[in-house]
Structure 1
């Protein structure tokens, strides 16, 4: 499968998973849902890790995985809560502030240079997100979605710093496995009875999560990140269309303009490189 199609398929899985969450009742137990998602994802990736290592020896970076596990558990629960109470396009747009936040965090903690083009792209992308979410007044769930984006950006920052130290499947397994340390007591404290639809959605999300991760890893191994980044934002289009088609959520001109700005902002940082590659292929 071509790398671009892999990223498109991954974004379709993400949007489909969010749609399944949205179809649950708004009072669905979110920690129970995240527990099932991470548990099933851990069990699904276990055979790959076993084949890779031949054992389940504790990762030497267990402290890093514990930190990521806390962010995974808390961030996903907050995100699920936002999905249950916000339009799909809105919550997806707010979550897409995560790459913008990662730019700022990388500049501050990893001393990476942002550059003029990325700065302009960040401003345009944020403007698009404001047009989609249209926060005319404070909304608790938009705030929760933004907090979820912040935890995702922090998680990505940690992963970025340690990505070359360990195989992706090992990182995926241990971070999800350690998440159980936080999710089991959180689910117990939540006090909800066993919910079969939540368990079924959790299992499906676990399968989607592994599939999405596999597709993204292999896509980035076959193509440059500059080519892939714009396609990752197609998830926003899928979210808007799914919300409009399945949930009767409005799809106004303002929202469409906002989506266009977000997509444009994803292309802008890599425009020169993409243009050069396009010209070289035309020769």
Structure 2
């Protein structure tokens, strides 16, 4: 699969969504009593180790100026990653896999809202309506008679993930995604390591195993995004990533015995449907723009 056609790009992104969900599965399998800071530190360590050969090759091939650009942003993203990783572990420890993932999928809504605030992007009625429905979806999914720490962590994870994703726009364009991911994880090590030392938990072999497996799945997801969005317009294929919610339902039921109730499906619909509509709207606009360009070209040729 090259990712050069829409169908192959969609397949790659669906496969990536599976690996992203599998990453959550391994984190959840680590258990509620896992040493959270130790687990987060080990994840960062193994992501650096796995990515280091690729990063070294790209460092040697690029100019020193290019390789050292954006270090301040990588530092910020690395520390935000530590926060997001901690929130992810806490939320998955108690919430069912499907419930947590349904809340995580509100991240695109926060991205659109933050984009309007910090990047002065246009906030349309459609986007505002999608945000309102998304928040309603969260309430339907969680049905909070009393807010638990895991519920707050799931929402906070989506917010931090959105903030970290927006910073990608400011990263140097000449740096590859995997090289940037390596630098980000490298900057995550000091904070994650300090927290692990402060935690003072004994080394656990199970934590090591689950951190390795989740790191591999996280990198495979990043690679799928790199290939899936490289040749095809994102508006044509981005909806494929919502297949991750289906995987969360299936894997949660198969591995953890979670049976989502009707409200989880209803809430997920409130979250996903507006995002699918916005994606479909962007596709129509792109097609109209291309059609108009082709018409003008034909008239000019005539």
- Shared fold (TM-score, shorter chain, > 0.5): yes
- How far 1:165 moved relative to its partner? 5.4
Do the aligned residues in 2 keep the contact of 1:101 with 1:150 (CA within 8 Å)? Answer: yes
Aligned to 1:237: 246
Moved segments of 4+, more than 6 Å: 276-280
Distance 2:193 2:183 in 1: 16
- CA 1:141 to 1:111, structure 2 compared with 1: closer, same or farther past 3 Å? same
- Mean Cα displacement is larger for which, 180-189 or 122-131? 122-131
5+ unaligned residues in a row in structure 2: which ranges? 2-7, 291-302
The number of residues matched between the two structures is: 280
2:176 matches 1:167:
yes
- How far 1:261 moved relative to its partner? 3.0
What RMSD in Å do the two structures reach over aligned CA positions? 2.2
Larger radius of gyration: 2
Distance 1:38 1:130 in 2: 32
Do the aligned residues in 1 keep the contact of 2:109 with 2:130 (CA within 8 Å)? Answer: no
**1:19-70, CA deviations, whole angstroms, 9 ceiling, x for partnerless residues?**
1222223110111111111111111111112212217966232221111111
Distance 1:231 1:264 in 2: 13
Q: Name the SS for the 1:175 alignment partner.
A: helix
- Mean Cα displacement is larger for which, 42-51 or 252-261? 252-261
Distance 2:152 2:172 in 1: 29
**1:75-124, CA deviations, whole angstroms, 9 ceiling, x for partnerless residues?**
11121111111111221122222211111111111101122222222223
Following superposition of structure 1 onto structure 2, how do residues 107-256 of structure 1 map, counting pairs within 5 Å?
Answer: 107-162=116-171, 164=173, 166-256=175-265
Do the aligned residues in 2 keep the contact of 1:230 with 1:263 (CA within 8 Å)? Answer: no
Distance 2:20 2:286 in 1: 29
- CA 1:187 to 1:143, structure 2 compared with 1: closer, same or farther past 3 Å? same
Aligned to 2:113: 104
Aligned to 1:90: 99
Do the aligned residues in 2 keep the contact of 1:83 with 1:91 (CA within 8 Å)? Answer: yes
**1:201-226, CA deviations, whole angstroms, 9 ceiling, x for partnerless residues?**
11111111111101111101122111
- Mean Cα displacement is larger for which, 165-174 or 73-82? 165-174
2:65 matches 1:33:
no
5+ unaligned residues in a row in structure 1: which ranges? none
- Mean Cα displacement is larger for which, 20-29 or 259-268? 259-268
Aligned to 2:27: 21
Q: Name the SS for the 1:233 alignment partner.
A: helix
- How far 1:133 moved relative to its partner? 2.1
